[in-house]
Structures are given as structure tokens and as C-alpha cells.
Structure 1
Amino acid sequence: MNTIIFIFFRRLRQPLLTLVIAYSIAVLGLVLIPGQDGDGNIWHMDFFHAFYFVSYMATTIGFGEIPYAFTDAQRIWVLFSIYATVIGWLYAIGTLLTLVQDKSFQEAITERRFAHRIKQLKEPFYIVCGYGETGEALVSVLTERNQNVVVIDSNPNINNILQMANLRQYVPGLHGDASRPIHLLEAGLEHPLCQGVIAVTNDNEVNLQVAVTSKLLHPDIKVICRADSHEVEDNMSSFGTDYIIDPFDTFAIHLATVIQSPALYLLNQWLTGVRYQSLCHPVYPPQTGFWIVCGYGRFGKTVYQQLRDNGIKPIIIEATPEKTGLTEAGIADDDWILGWGTDAATLEKAGIKDAVGLIAGTDNDSNNLSIIMTAKELNPDLFVVARNNLADNERLFEAIDAEIVMHPSSIIANKIRVLLATPLLYAFMSLAAKQSNKWASEMVGRVSMVVKEQVPEIWELDINDEQAYAVNIAIENGVQVTLGNLLADSRQRE
């Protein structure tokens, strides 16, 4: 409200001063100019009657001469006052109309209404900072699970975008810089029902500032941040950020999993899939032979290291080695080729006909598609891993029929969804990673016996007085309650 008042008086200061001066001069003139009463005696109007007369004269230009008929001198002065005050009012009204149409004033009012609406929330909610591809996917999956969301984004059209989005619930949005504490506070950071803050902007510094602000102003809430560099991750960790997600590191771990234990990778895809998603088929990447990695950026570095750690020899194709740090990475000259990988000559120089796997991992979707198409013409038996940067190109990557498609935004949104909706599932998969491929195969078999064509529906149940009173009392009394007891049909008591 202070911002609105400040803008109002700053813009209307000159018009208001003009009106005050015009009124003051008009009133003073009527007080000083002598008039005549009904008996012809000299009479001076007092300040009260003068102000009363000027007030309705200036706004209506329709009046009676009170308390006595005016003299010619008074009428001349009134004539001057009419033009002065009417012009002053026109100036003030014109400025007011301009102010109402001013974008900064409209944003201040919208921001005030937004803050008031957030204060009135009666259900738990999450604050999502950034509504790009990652934020959009995340908000969609959260609202599908009936979880309330508040969005902060730098796009001035964020409210229109949210209104046009096919979301299950109403999502309030604020146009603002999420790194500013005032905007986080307006979004409900200190609200008692705020469950967590999720920073998924495309700026590491903004995400870091959100993490710092959230942990300092509301230490008890859950904070999840996206980070694309290990230095920023370390900084976030120092402030107690609960979860830090690097999409490239996450996918590199997935790639290592599918190489080491295809069944565990399949189990992870099934259990963490989005509701109503079709079951994906198992993939079996080659574990011998060499791979070609196109692009040595953030994504290329992580998958290159994972391939090396799994005993696979990768050959790198990179067009800008100085920019990506390839020349300083200590990689032998025989292990990398200068070029884009979109032309057959570069791929043949890298040994594409003898390669068993290809990773198209540049930050340009057109280049990645071109790399895959050219490579498949030279070696149709390649195991292909593609990086899909933009969601709009998803259909293109489906058409190119790559074995694994990595979409950074989807990886982040899906992992955050699991952390918020089913945190025990995240813990389960962390423990499952330590099991053998045989164990994972058995689990896949058990799941496939329960589900048909879609991923299983997964939820969590709290054993407490509200959700499971009898079970909770039994546990408190020392009774051992097993998972089999919880899954038993209550109608079959034998």
C-alpha cells in the first residue's frame, strides 16, 4: 500500500498544488473584496462562506450568490475563479486518468491485491520461482495432485499465461524478481501454511538468492533449487538448502544406471512416472565398444565422465573446445575431434561406423536432430541418446526414435514432484540403487503383475491418529504391525 500511495502523490503532487493554490487565491479574493448586504451596507464574506462558495462553484459551475447578491467586483473575481479552478480540476483529472493507465501503478495495485489474496489462503501451498519450461511442468503436476501453488516470474504476462494454462486449480501469479525478498514475502514466504519454496529459474544467482532468503526468513520450510554448476551447489548447501537438483548430473546418473542395471532403470521409470503415463519398455545399451559424445558442455562433461567410470571409451566431437574447456581438461588429442558432428565427414573421422552408441548432447535441438539423422544413415545399429532442450520439439525427438531422450526441464520437474508428493519413494529408490540387477528384475516382475498399461499410482500414508487411529494405538501398545497387516482386506478377517 505504501508503494501505491507514494506513486499516487508523486504523480498528483503538481495538480494538487495547482488546485490548492487556485482555491486559496479564489477564497482569499472573496474574503478581501467588499460586498453589500440587503440594506446596502458594506459586508465582507468570511472564510467559511468563501470556501463553501468556491467548493461548489468549482465543481458544478452552478450556484446562487449567497448570502447576499454579489457586487460587480465580486462577480468579476468569481469569473476569474471559475476559469482558474475548472482548469485546475481538468489538469488534476487528466493526470489521474493518466496515472490509472500507468503500468507501474497498475502493477503496484496488482501486487497489493496478490499479497492480500495470499494472506487469505487457508490451505498449504508451495512457492514456485520461475515459470519457464521447468516451472510450467512442475506447476502442472503439482496441481494435478491437488497441491496449491503460488508462482513468481519475471514475465510481465505471467497472470495471462497462468489463466490460459490448462491447470486443474487456480494458481495466483506475481510479476517480479524472485531474488528480491519483498516479492518472496508477498508470495507468502512467512505464511504459516507455506510448505516450501522451489527455485527453478534459468539463472543460478537468482536461485541461490531465493535459497538464502528462504532459509533465513523461514528456516523450517523445505527449499528445493535448480543449479547448473557445482560451485553454486556448494554455496546453496552452505545455507542448508534441502534439495539441489542438477539436471545434467541427474541424467548422467540415470545413464550410468541403465548401463549397469537396466532393470533398476526401468523400475525407476515406472515408479516415478506421471499419472496415466504409459509403461515404458526396457532398454539395453551396449556395455562394450566405444561411444561418440557430441558436445562437451555441461551435459557432455557429465555423461563423458559416467561413461569413463563404467569402463566405456568415449570419443568427443566438439566445435568450440576453447569455450567449453576441452583443451584444458587433459583429454588426449586422439580422444576428441574438432567439429559439430552434423556432417558425415566429422562423424566418420570419429569412427561412427564402428561405434556402438551415440550421445547428441549439444544445446541446440536442430544440431542434435541433424547429428542423429546423419549418424543413423552411417550406422543404423547405433544406440542413441538425445538431448531435447525445448519442449516444443518433443514430437521431433519422438519421431527420430532415439532409445533415450533427455529433457532437462522434465527431469527437474519429475524429481521435484517425487520429492514433494512421495518423499519416501525418493528414499526407496536411493536404497534400491544399492541392490543388484537381479533384485530389480524381480521387482519389475512383481510390479508388472499388478499394473497393465499405465504406471502405478503411488501415494503415502501417515500412521497417526488422524489417518490410521487403530493402527497407531496398536503400535503405541507394542503390537508389531507389518505391511501385510496394512494391505489385508478388512472384510477377510481369517
Structure 2
Amino acid sequence: MNLSARGRSRIRGAAMWLLLLELRAPLITLIVTYAISVLGLVLIPGLTPAGSAYHLSFLDAFYLVSFTATTIGFGEIPYPFTSSQKLWMLFVMYSTVIAWLYSIGSILAVLSDPAFRHLRSYQRSVSRIHGIKYPYWVVCGYGAAGSQLIRFLDHSGVRCVMIDSNVNRADAARLSDLSYELDILVGDAAEPQTLVDAGVQRALCRGVLALTDQDQVNLTVSTNTRILAPRVPVYARSATDANTRNLRSFDTEIVVDPFRVAARSVTQLIQKPNAFALYHELVDPDLNQIEVVEIPSSGHWIICAAGRMSETMVEAFIREQIPFCLVSARAPGERGDWPWIQGIGTEAQTLREARISDAVGIIAGTNDDGDNLSILLTAQSENPNLVTVARRNRSTSEPVFGQGHFSFVLREGRIIAQEIYARITTPLLHQFLGQLEVMPEPLVNGVLKKLNTLLSGESPELAHFDFTLNDDEAPGVLPFLQAARAPKLGDLLVDPGLDYPSMPLICLLLVRLNGDLVPFPEDGIALEEGDRLLLWGAVGAHHRLHFLVRREDLFEAVLSARCAIDD
């Protein structure tokens, strides 16, 4: 018997044991009541119509007690009862009815007992999970990051199994608006058996996402998974450098530090607003357009934060040589030659000491949403032209932050979900995002303008996808790759309809078979067998592209038309 089958047997055994344990007294009461009732009817003699004595058999007595206890009442059989039998039957009637009422009440109490219901629910969940026929990811923790990521992955057709020890969060997960019924396991993700029950050892499990709010739990999940299922990749959330180093010491595939990702996002917003806008459109399925924030080229920033957010922001600003002033209640651990103002930032006087009137922007990054809103409102009253960056800590505050018209809102759950989503859904996307960080801003700006030109001023829903030039995905293109006039990238981006107009698509990244990366390749670059392409543009265009690359006759017509134009 394998581990998963043993686990299911263990759960069934636990539920049955709990049921029998609670019903022990009622069962004993019923058995004793029936035994005494049957024995009395067998021992007490009756009279036949002829006046002779008789005794009921055990079978007849049990039959008589049974239909009496169930209130069916077939009458006095086989002959009318004597006074002694009637007196005994009075005892039988009342005692058996009371025994059954007691037993039924006990059964109902057991069935409504939270522990029993949890076991039964857990058993059904495990059975459902081990009956899944499609690939899935195991998500540990249905907090802000877990819930957001599950929704993001559903947008790309990726299914999940969720583990959370909080019943309220599990109930919220059941009400989530997904395209499938989310399989939920209410249990402690740090327990190895819970991971086994969640199916981490199954061949269909594609990976484990440790996204709880506790670093120690995420660390335990990662170590347990590494031992239970070494082939399964683990993506983990980590809020401290020490925990990050620990996770990476045993080759955890991906470790996401929300504070460092937030600091990187803010510095990218300041220095490369076009790259920032492109990054967030690609990694966030909820975004449907490119919104570039205009950032003044000169001036200092005010950072109102404390703790780890303060440390990572200061470190990132120093590294990128962005002038700033830190506002915090406590002095920073390591002071440099940069200014520090003691305070929270909610008072106008504190912001004036940080030269708010001359500042370019302000970051409200404290641990309290109320303080962050107060900081930004006070700052805007002092300097209406500020670029405002807000940190939202609690998801319940979203209505306020969503309507605050801030330049950018740091949402920890969404930051983690975006980072992992980019790595799971499209393998080439993560490679491109790495290239995006070092690309010149004018180049990114030119690509965005090119897409806007292709869209002709319209604002369709945008999406990205990848495909490979091979027999499976592009059989219509391969025969022409060795021709005298080899196909170029631009030949793929042509609508096979009337007059062959350009499709609203841009190639973000081309990866050669030897591993060479070509970000933002030109339309004139020659194609080779095995090339992998990451494309981005209007939703629906990828259907036209797939239609083109699978039809040899269509692609030949496109090549002929473009050759005629070139000639």
C-alpha cells in the first residue's frame, strides 16, 4: 500500500473511531435494553385459547420487541397476552422508546460535532484530490498572496489545490469566483502528512507554493516537500534575509521577498517608468492597458517607513543613487550621509522638515494603513504635484486605496502573486523580465509606441503567449526555413486575411536553440528551427497566428506577397 492510500485509510479509520467512541454508551444501552426485554418475554409464560401454557422463542420475542420499539405495533402475537405479559410489555414499550431516543440524539450530536464534521470533510477532500486527473499546484496559505495567485493562475487555465489551517479562510476560498471547484484541505501545511494528503507525491503535482504569512511555516513546508517529493519544485515567500538564505541553502527553486520586490518596483518606477508599466501589464492579468507615470527627472523622494520596508527601500535608493530623505519613528540601524527626520510623517511639520515642497514624490510605507493614508493626504495638501506611492497592508482597506488616485499602490499579496505568476505560466516571460531590467528606457518606449501604432488607437485586452518553431506548433513554417529566402520574424506577424495587414502583435523575446537571447528582435531577423518566441499584443491575435503557422499554403501565400512587395 502506498503512502497516499495509507493516508486515506488513516483518515477513514479516525472518523470511524470517533463515531464509535461517541456512540459507545448509546449502543450499550440499546443492546442491554433489547436483551432484557427479549429475555423477559421468553421467560414469562403465556396462555393459548385452550388454556395451556406456552413460551415465546427468542426469535419471536426479538420480533415482538422490534416492532414494538419502532412503534409499528402488529398486536399481541401469537395469542392474546396475559396480565403478566402485558405488564412486561409496558416496560418494553417505554424502555425501548427511551433507549432509541437517547441513541438517535447521540447520533445527531456526533454528526453535528465540529471534530467529526472536520474529519469527514477532510476525508472527502483527500479523496477528491487523489482523484484529480489534471495537473495542479499545491498552494499553502489562502492569505492575500495565495488567494490572488490562485485567481491569476485560473486566468491562465492552471488549477490549484489549497491548504489552510483557518476555517474562515477555507470558507472564503469555497466562495471564490473561479472557473473550477477549488479543492481545499483544512489542515496544517507544516505537517508532512498534510502535504501527502494534498497530493505532493502524485505525478500530476507540478509544484508547491509556500505562501503563508509565517516564515517558519514556509521553511518547514519547503524542507518537507524536498524530502517527500524531491522532483517537485517549491516557490516560497520569505520576509527576512536570514530565512531567504536558509531556503536557498537546500536549493529552493524560487524565494520571493515581498519587501525587496517592492523596493525594486519603486526604483524601477522612478528610473524606468516605461519598463515599469510594461512589467506590470505582463505579470498582472487584471491590467488591460499601459499606464506610464510621468516622473520628474530631478528632485528628492521622501520615504516614510519603518522596519524591513525602511531597510530595503533605503538600500535600493542608495544602490540606484536616487536622492531621498527617510522619515521614521526610530533612528535607522546604519546611518549614512543621507538625511533622516524623526517622526511618522502624518504631521505637516515633519514633512516640511523633509522639504516636502521640493520633493518629487513620497512613499507611505508604514505597517498601518491609516497612517499611510494620513501621510499621503497631508503630503498632497503641502505639495499637490507629488508622485504618491502607498503601501496597503490589509485587503479590507482596498476600497479606500483603490479610490485614492495614488500613482502606485504596493500590495504585498499582489506583488508576490505577480512575481510567481510570471514564472509559472509562461517560461519565456521570466527570462524576458530579467532582460527588461537592463534595457534602455528609450528602447522600451519605442516598443510601446510601436504597439500603440499597431492598435490604431484602440484599447483591446492585451495578453502574452509563447510558441516554438517546431513540427508540433508551427508545421506550416518549417518547410520554408531552408529556402533561399528564409522567413523573417515579420512574416509571422501578418494577418492571413485580405491584403495581409500586420497583426497587433510584438515579439518581446526570441530565444535561439543554442540559448542565445534576443530581446525586442527586429521584424527583419531571420528565423531558425527551434526558435522560441514570446509575443504580446491584442487578445485574439494569437489565434490568427496559430492558424497561419499551421497552414503551409497560407504561409506560402504570405511569403509570396511579401516577396512581391520587397521586389
Same fold judged by TM-score > 0.5?
A: yes
In the aligned structure 2, how far is the partner of 1:253 from the partner of 1:292? 16
Q: Bigger shift: 66-75 or 181-190?
A: 66-75
In the aligned structure 1, how far is the partner of 2:452 from the partner of 2:281? 10
1:146–1:169 CA contact under 8 A, matched in 2: no
In the aligned structure 1, how far is the partner of 2:133 from the partner of 2:240? 37
2:165 counterpart of 1:154: yes
Q: Go from structure 1 to structure 2 and tell me whether the alpha carbon gap of 1:31 and 1:237 turns closer, same or farther (over 3 Å shift).
A: farther
Query: Any idea what SS the aligned residue of 1:136 has?
Result: helix
Name the counterpart of 2:310. Answer: 300
2:239 counterpart of 1:233: no
Q: Bigger shift: 161-170 or 132-141?
A: 161-170
In the aligned structure 1, how far is the partner of 2:46 from the partner of 2:435? 99
Name the counterpart of 2:207. Answer: 196
Query: Any idea what SS the aligned residue of 1:356 has?
Result: strand
Deviation at 1:156, TM superposition (A): 2.2
Deviation at 1:296, TM superposition (A): 1.8
Name the counterpart of 2:101. Answer: 90
Letter in structure 2 aligned against 1:77: W
Name the counterpart of 2:392. Answer: 388
2:326 counterpart of 1:316: yes
Letter in structure 1 aligned against 2:463: E
Q: Go from structure 1 to structure 2 and tell me whether the alpha carbon gap of 1:482 and 1:25 turns closer, same or farther (over 3 Å shift).
A: farther
Q: Go from structure 1 to structure 2 and tell me whether the alpha carbon gap of 1:134 and 1:334 turns closer, same or farther (over 3 Å shift).
A: closer
Deviation at 1:69, TM superposition (A): 5.7
In the aligned structure 2, how far is the partner of 1:171 from the partner of 1:350? 49
In the aligned structure 2, how far is the partner of 1:131 from the partner of 1:277? 25
Q: Go from structure 1 to structure 2 and tell me whether the alpha carbon gap of 1:35 and 1:455 turns closer, same or farther (over 3 Å shift).
A: closer
TM-score (normalised: structure 1): 0.86
Q: Go from structure 1 to structure 2 and tell me whether the alpha carbon gap of 1:280 and 1:88 turns closer, same or farther (over 3 Å shift).
A: same
2:340 counterpart of 1:330: no
Query: Any idea what SS the aligned residue of 2:558 has?
Result: coil
Name the counterpart of 2:40. Answer: 29
Q: Go from structure 1 to structure 2 and tell me whether the alpha carbon gap of 1:63 and 1:421 turns closer, same or farther (over 3 Å shift).
A: same
Q: Bigger shift: 482-491 or 416-425?
A: 482-491
Specify which of 260, 267, 288 is matched with residue 277 of structure 1. Answer: 288
1:279–1:453 CA contact under 8 A, matched in 2: no
Deviation at 1:91, TM superposition (A): 0.5
Letter in structure 2 aligned against 1:76: L
Deviation at 1:378, TM superposition (A): 2.5
2:314 counterpart of 1:248: no
Q: Go from structure 1 to structure 2 and tell me whether the alpha carbon gap of 1:157 and 1:395 turns closer, same or farther (over 3 Å shift).
A: closer
2:226–2:232 CA contact under 8 A, matched in 1: yes
Letter in structure 2 aligned against 1:82: M
Deviation at 1:239, TM superposition (A): 4.0
Letter in structure 1 aligned against 2:349: A
Deviation at 1:468, TM superposition (A): 4.4
CA RMSD after TM alignment:
3.3
In the aligned structure 2, how far is the partner of 1:375 from the partner of 1:41? 108
Q: Go from structure 1 to structure 2 and tell me whether the alpha carbon gap of 1:55 and 1:318 turns closer, same or farther (over 3 Å shift).
A: same
Query: Any idea what SS the aligned residue of 2:462 has?
Result: coil
Name the counterpart of 2:466. Answer: 460
Name the counterpart of 2:149. Answer: 138
2:305–2:327 CA contact under 8 A, matched in 1: yes
Name the counterpart of 1:183. Answer: 194
Query: Any idea what SS the aligned residue of 1:368 has?
Result: helix
Looking at both structures, which has the greater relative contact order when contacts are Cα pairs under 8 Å and sequence separation is at least 6? 1
In the aligned structure 2, how far is the partner of 1:474 from the partner of 1:279? 36
Post-superposition Cα deviations, 1:393-437, rounded to whole Å, max 9, x if no partner, equal: 445445544333222111111122211111211111113323333
Specify which of 85, 106, 131 is matched with residue 120 of structure 1. Answer: 131
Query: Any idea what SS the aligned residue of 1:492 has?
Result: helix
Post-superposition Cα deviations, 1:423-463, rounded to whole Å, max 9, x if no partner, equal: 21111111332333344344434444444535631112356
Deviation at 1:12, TM superposition (A): 0.9
In the aligned structure 1, how far is the partner of 2:351 from the partner of 2:343? 9
Deviation at 1:342, TM superposition (A): 0.4
Count of matched residue positions in the alignment of Structure 1 and Structure 2:
485
In the aligned structure 2, how far is the partner of 1:259 from the partner of 1:276? 20
Q: Go from structure 1 to structure 2 and tell me whether the alpha carbon gap of 1:281 and 1:259 turns closer, same or farther (over 3 Å shift).
A: closer
In the aligned structure 1, how far is the partner of 2:94 from the partner of 2:211? 59
In the aligned structure 2, how far is the partner of 1:434 from the partner of 1:454? 28
Q: Go from structure 1 to structure 2 and tell me whether the alpha carbon gap of 1:255 and 1:117 turns closer, same or farther (over 3 Å shift).
A: same
Q: Go from structure 1 to structure 2 and tell me whether the alpha carbon gap of 1:307 and 1:22 turns closer, same or farther (over 3 Å shift).
A: same
Letter in structure 2 aligned against 1:93: I
2:155–2:285 CA contact under 8 A, matched in 1: no
Deviation at 1:465, TM superposition (A): 5.6
Taking every aligned residue pair, what percent have the same amino acid on both sides? Answer: 36
- Ranges in structure 1 where 5+ consecutive residues have no aligned partner: none
